């Protein structure tokens, strides 16, 4: 069974701090890694994707991938209260279906 694991949280950080969200996956053949943000009652919104080992930056967001450790993370710099949401890690493993983790709930307090 291919699994994607995330700490459910909540992860609480003060406004302006860096939020660090982590995800591990079980299938070594996984090729593509995605971070989605989901507000309560809403659909997943794609915020980052990464395919190669290393870091990928987009504005306040940085995705980090380490395939040897089967680990992917998302850093959010200068966190804002509007970043408060559930962050879903999703992985493709040899097919185009996405396998999602349970998500980490992030709370940014003023």
Partner 1 sequence: EPEVTQTPSHQVTQMGQEVILRCVPISNHLYFYWYRQILGQKVEFLVSFYNNEISEKSEIFDDQFSVERPDGSNFTLKIRSTKLEDSAMYFCASTFDGRESYEQYFGPGTRLTVT
Residue numbers at the binding site for partner 1 (CB under 8 A): 31-32, 34, 36, 42-46, 49, 51, 88, 90, 92, 94-103
Nearer to partner 1, 30 or 84 (CB): 30
CA distance 44 to 1: 23
CA distance 3 to 91: 9
- Is-cis flag, bond preceding 6, omega within 30? no
Nearer to partner 1, 21 or 103 (CB): 103
Nearer to partner 1, 7 or 102 (CB): 102
């Amino acid at each position: 069974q291919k699994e994607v694991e995330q700490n459910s949280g909540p992860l609480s950080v003060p406004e302006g701090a860096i939020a660090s969200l982590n995800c591990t996956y079980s299938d070594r053949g996984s090729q593509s890694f995605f971070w989605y943000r989901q507000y309560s009652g809403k659909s997943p919104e794609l915020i980052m994707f990464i395919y190669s080992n290393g870091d990928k930056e987009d504005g306040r967001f940085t995705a980090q991938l380490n395939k040897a450790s089967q680990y992917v993370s998302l850093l959010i710099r200068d966190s804002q209260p509007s970043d408060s949401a559930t962050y879903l890690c999703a992985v493709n493993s040899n097919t185009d279906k996405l396998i999602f983790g349970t998500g980490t709930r992030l709370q940014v307090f003023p």
